Structure 1
Amino acid sequence: MEESDTSAILPRDFLSAPTSEDVCEAPVEAKDAEPRSRGTAGRPPLSCPLGVTVEPVLFLSMFSIVLQTPLYMQYVWERISVDVGYNGTRDRGCSDSNRLPDPAEQEVETLTAHWNLYINLGGFLVGLLVVTLLGSWSDHVGRKPVLIIANLGLAIQALVYLLVMYLRLPLVWFLVGRLLSSLMGDLNAIIAGCFAYVADVSSRGSRTFRVAVLEASIGVAGMLAGIIGGQWRQAQGCINPFWLAVATNLAAALYVYLLVPESVTPNPGGAQVFTCEHYRAIGRLYCSRSSGGQRRTSLWLYLLCFFLVVTVHSGSRDLYILYELSAPLCWGPELIGWGYATKYLAYLSSLLGLRTMQLCLADSWVALVGLASNIAGLVVFSVANTTALMYTGYGLCFLYLTSTPVLRSKMSKLVKVSEQGALFASVACVEGLCSLVSSVVFNSLYPATLPIMKGLPFLVAASILIIPVAIIGTLRCREQEPDSRDNPGTS
């Protein structure tokens, strides 16, 4: 598609003037401040009249993942309960927070946490290598092939999970399904491709909000999937919802092929996928001496903040269901579905909060407010022994997702247009590493701390977030100039 067609794809109200905070960041070449041009080879067979690009892709992919996660974890819980002879009764003693722990229930919790660890560990170890290749490869061949391949992989994973439940195969087949999906990129490749696409087509001034809109699509998908999955699970069991997961991934792949215009001009000769050049491109991004020292240092520090924040998000997310299934909360499928929906509602509240706070605060301070919201919610989760207190924690987290779009946007503004694919490939690898580390740490910490304090992992997570608070605050104070204090950014 020609450069003149960009305005037809992106609604003009998404764009805004560059912020004063952008001026404080390391300079990037003038040509990198504008969206990349697209060649005529990137024209899709059809055109979308709604002015959206990859937001529906991330929405459908995330809907599939969020629909599956609580269902397969509840299925694993039930299979293990049968194996260890635990009858699964939730009403006996659930109102008594001081009752002695049931050894059978603790064994089920521990084994379920360990299986979740094995599945995540295997999937993310494979995905860590594959996403790097696919993300950097997309700089040469375009974003669309990566998005299509990864969605087909997620559909295969859901089909394998269906076979496990229909045929009551051993639980290790859940790991097989996850590995097959990881070999094709998994969700991290979709996230990398979508954010790189938005960086391609957005201006510097609008990028933070465009990234936040993309993350909000994750929240809407999670909210709907949580509600639908919980109600459907209670009505018909675990199996039928997985057919919807297969359909949404296939629909996402078809949408990319038919309606998404390519955001980069593919190399005429194509590019190899399995080559070390993709790894070298990422190495040059962070270690090249041609890059300014201050820019490189800022990029490393923002990446560290991103790693810590996403590790806390992933680790705590793994524990919510286990925490809610067991005493003293003893939630059933419907309450778990509503809890998942409430948690993902924070994506929308964070988007609205980010846009509102940008009217009077620079992006860095917006991120700090989000981190404070996250810390407050985790502290409440650590002592939650009633449904009302658990929902209070969800309410305090209503701004906790304003930090990640700010960090993504800041990293994107520190690199050239031609490096966006390599950047978001590395960010996707960091996300995979976050999931790996969080699965190992939190799924091991949770059963180990059950005899001491059930909510202790949430306090550990809150403590970790103090580190990015200090880093972001320090970087902002170093970047700040007199004119930016007088006129805070509004992007």
Structure 2
Amino acid sequence: MTIIMSRTWIEPVVAAAQFASSFYDTGLIMVVKNYYNQTVSTTNSSSDNDLQKSISNFYIIYNLITKLTPLVPAYILAKLGDNNYREFSLCVPLTGYLVSSSILLLLILLDLPIQVMFGSAAINGLTGGFIAYWAGVMVWATLGSSENQRSIRLITNDCVFGMAGFAGSLISGHIFVNLQIGNSQGAALVSCSLANYILCLLYVIFVLRIPQLKDANIKEPSQAISENTTENLDEPIDCEYTEHSRLMDDQSNGMSAVRSMDVPVNTHASKVLIFLLFSSVSLYNASVNGTEDVINFFVLKKPLNWGPVEVGYGNAAAYMIFITSFLGVLVFSRFLGDHSLILIGMFSFGVGVLIMAFASWTYVYYIARVAMLFSLIPVPTIRSMLSKRVQETSYGKIFAILQIIMAVIAVMASSAFIKIYQATLDWFSGFSFIVIFIIVFISFILISVTFCMEK
């Protein structure tokens, strides 16, 4: 029985895929830096700024392709998932990741132009990308959890995601520097990424099984009546019991009538709450993603001026936030509700991003990361709140729509943050983090409004 249950666990896929992704991310940023380093001289500060602009311009285009092309494919995969083809929402995007890693490996081995990665990003997007993949993971975890444990289950997946990313990032810089295939630096690292994606696909195809919803043992009334009627066809009818049943049915009908009178108000309130939750989580997610995108260039520039090993360590510190956020939910959920957890997470990230704006030394960077300890609590907690307001058969669609909205807003905001970063390089390179803090504050206000409405 334990073996059967374990085959519904999505966590091994999350761990292996994120391990592969952390290798890929470190490999890509260093390959991009080395490519533009050959064309832009870094003998003076102005040339260093030119290098920063070249790298950031590459990532603007790369992120636009990666995050916008999956919109339609992700929705199609979500609909297929809701129609009993759950594996498609995992297998197809994982195949895209596998192809992307293969293209990056070929780029390194064959010394292809860096623009090839735009084609890789398009393939990744057309197979659903992270939108389809993570929506599929969330559906899998939701189906395997009860309502009162859902927030913990969803943040558990984020914790596994973070632990794998932490471990992968910690060693990725060392692999990039110390292991080579021939004279191709980074090929060994990308090969490790490729191997992990292959393992993920094999696990999904041959091992993983669809979980049954934890609350599914509560039968629908019509089903229960049908079963009860079938079981008691040959039994004598007890008149006293029948009269009691009639009275209970009358009471039940009265309660149903009372509930039906409240439906218009509750439905309207629910729609407003869902809109506010969507808006808040989208803005907050855009702030988090925008921060990580800007940090990718911020740490390569003087005065930090990081190399592959330092980049790996920095990414590992970023992934530690997944673990601390999980522990935060585990502890705080005993005493606090979902709204309070979300507000704590947003406050944590807001403080951290303000500190990051003034990170002129490496230790300040890590202080900012410490301040962000609980910054990943809001997104999975809001997902949990949304799942309690929709039907099981709509999980795939609602999560996919949420991921699509989050992706569109995130890619637009990220491009804007990068452009602000480029424009302010000469006088205050941390200014974009100040702008991000303002967006977080707006998200904080929106979630506070939902809290007041529900009270």
TM-score (norm 2): 0.84
Return the alpha-carbon distance in structure 2 between the equivalents of residues 315 and 225 of structure 1: 22
Equivalent residue letter for 1:188: I
Return the alpha-carbon distance in structure 1 between the equivalents of residues 7 and 400 of structure 2: 26
The answer to whether the Cα contact below 8 Å between 1:132 and 1:428 also exists between their aligned partners in 2 is no
Structure 1 counterpart of 2:35: 79
Change in Cα spacing, 1:173 to 1:192, as seen in structure 2 (3 Å) is same
Alpha-carbon shift at residue 239 of structure 1 (Å): 1.8
Structure 2 counterpart of 1:217: 160
Alpha-carbon shift at residue 438 of structure 1 (Å): 3.2
Equivalent residue letter for 2:41: G
Name the SS for the 2:148 alignment partner.
Answer: coil
Return the alpha-carbon distance in structure 2 between the equivalents of residues 56 and 431 of structure 1: 25
Structure 2 counterpart of 1:241: 189
Name the SS for the 2:187 alignment partner.
Answer: coil
Residue 252 of structure 1 pairs with residue 191 of structure 2: no
Alpha-carbon shift at residue 304 of structure 1 (Å): 0.7
Q: Equivalent residues in 2 for 1:167-186 (5 A)? A: 167-186=110-129
Structure 1 counterpart of 2:450: 475
The answer to whether the Cα contact below 8 Å between 1:154 and 1:187 also exists between their aligned partners in 2 is no
Structure 2 counterpart of 1:362: 337
Q: Choose the corresponding residue for 1:394, options 369, 381, 392.
A: 369
Structure 2 counterpart of 1:129: 72
Alpha-carbon shift at residue 68 of structure 1 (Å): 1.2
Structure 1 counterpart of 2:12: 56
Return the alpha-carbon distance in structure 1 between the equivalents of residues 195 and 433 of structure 2: 35
Alpha-carbon shift at residue 351 of structure 1 (Å): 0.6
Structure 2 counterpart of 1:39: none
Describe the superposition over 1:138-177 as per-residue Cα deviations: whole angstroms up to 9, x where unpaired: 1003311221121111000100111111111111100111
Alpha-carbon shift at residue 51 of structure 1 (Å): 6.9
Larger Rg: 2
Return the alpha-carbon distance in structure 2 between the equivalents of residues 126 and 450 of structure 1: 30
Change in Cα spacing, 1:313 to 1:123, as seen in structure 2 (3 Å) is same
Name the SS for the 2:95 alignment partner.
Answer: helix
Q: Choose the corresponding residue for 2:59, options 116, 125, 150.
A: 116
Equivalent residue letter for 1:358: S
Query: Runs of 5+ in structure 1 lacking a partner?
Result: 1-7, 10-46, 88-100, 266-288, 481-491
Change in Cα spacing, 1:442 to 1:249, as seen in structure 2 (3 Å) is same
Name the SS for the 1:180 alignment partner.
Answer: helix
Q: Which has the higher contact order (CA 8 A, sep 6+)?
A: 1
The answer to whether the Cα contact below 8 Å between 1:366 and 1:402 also exists between their aligned partners in 2 is yes
TM-score (norm 1): 0.78
Describe the superposition over 1:403-424 as per-residue Cα deviations: whole angstroms up to 9, x where unpaired: 1111110111111111101101
Change in Cα spacing, 1:132 to 1:51, as seen in structure 2 (3 Å) is closer
Structure 2 counterpart of 1:440: 415
Structure 2 counterpart of 1:352: 327
Name the SS for the 1:328 alignment partner.
Answer: coil
Structure 2 counterpart of 1:269: none
Equivalent residue letter for 1:295: S
Query: Runs of 5+ in structure 2 lacking a partner?
Result: 180-184, 214-263
Q: Equivalent residues in 2 for 1:258-297 (5 A)? A: 258-263=206-211, 292-297=267-272
Equivalent residue letter for 1:74: M
Give the stretch that moved more between structures: 182-191 or 102-111. Answer: 182-191
Residue 311 of structure 1 pairs with residue 286 of structure 2: yes
Q: Equivalent residues in 2 for 1:84-95 (5 A)? A: 84-86=40-42
Q: What is the root-mean-square deviation of aligned Cα atoms in Å?
A: 1.9
Return the alpha-carbon distance in structure 1 between the equivalents of residues 148 and 101 of structure 2: 39
Alpha-carbon shift at residue 264 of structure 1 (Å): 6.8
Alpha-carbon shift at residue 229 of structure 1 (Å): 0.9
Alpha-carbon shift at residue 469 of structure 1 (Å): 1.2
Equivalent residue letter for 2:137: C
Return the alpha-carbon distance in structure 2 between the equivalents of residues 184 and 290 of structure 1: 40
Alpha-carbon shift at residue 48 of structure 1 (Å): 5.6
Alpha-carbon shift at residue 309 of structure 1 (Å): 1.1
The answer to whether the Cα contact below 8 Å between 1:373 and 1:397 also exists between their aligned partners in 2 is yes
Residue 385 of structure 1 pairs with residue 360 of structure 2: yes
Identity %: 22
